[in-house]
Amino acid sequence: MGEEHRDTRQHDRDRIAHRREDNDCSVYIGKRPTMNYVMAAMVILNKNEDCTIKARGRAISHAVDVAEILINKFYPSAFYKDIKISTEHLQNDDHKVSNVSSMEIVLGPRKPQEPEQN
């Protein structure tokens, strides 16, 4: 019984570690205050890594707010590396499939040096 319990906890830890590794550079937008997500994204950008802001459905406009606040106020050196929109097919509890729009905004920490223009 004790052994089994320890196994489960180990399994949980592995699972969480695995998930963290996967999504280390992503921020998933939900219903928390905007500044929480802005801070989370700044932590990633400060490591000099690209940060991906992901959102689904109604949270998409919230994701755009987060990215704009970040670039205009807190991290002016960041830039939009890529913006992707797509549809995800989610199965709910009744085994019905519903289509939900999703968005990924990839932010780079430093703008690439532009060639001088005259």
Contact criterion met (CB below 8 Å) for 51 and 44: yes
- Exposed / middle / buried, residue 82 (Cβ in 10 Å: 0-12, 13-18, 19+): exposed
Q: Is 98 in the site for a copy of itself (CB under 8 A)?
A: no
Q: Is 72 in the site for a copy of itself (CB under 8 A)?
A: yes
Contact criterion met (CB below 8 Å) for 82 and 106: yes
Q: Is 49 in the site for a copy of itself (CB under 8 A)?
A: no
Question: What are the tokens at 19?
Answer: 């998930």
Out of 45, 70, 103, 106, which residue is the one contacting a copy of itself (CB under 8 A)? 103
Contact criterion met (CB below 8 Å) for 62 and 29: yes
Q: Is 101 in the site for a copy of itself (CB under 8 A)?
A: yes
Minimal distance, residue 101 CB to a copy of itself, in Å: 4
Q: Is 45 in the site for a copy of itself (CB under 8 A)?
A: no
Q: Which residues bind a copy of itself (CB under 8 A)?
A: 57-61, 64-65, 67-68, 72, 80, 83-87, 99, 101, 103, 105
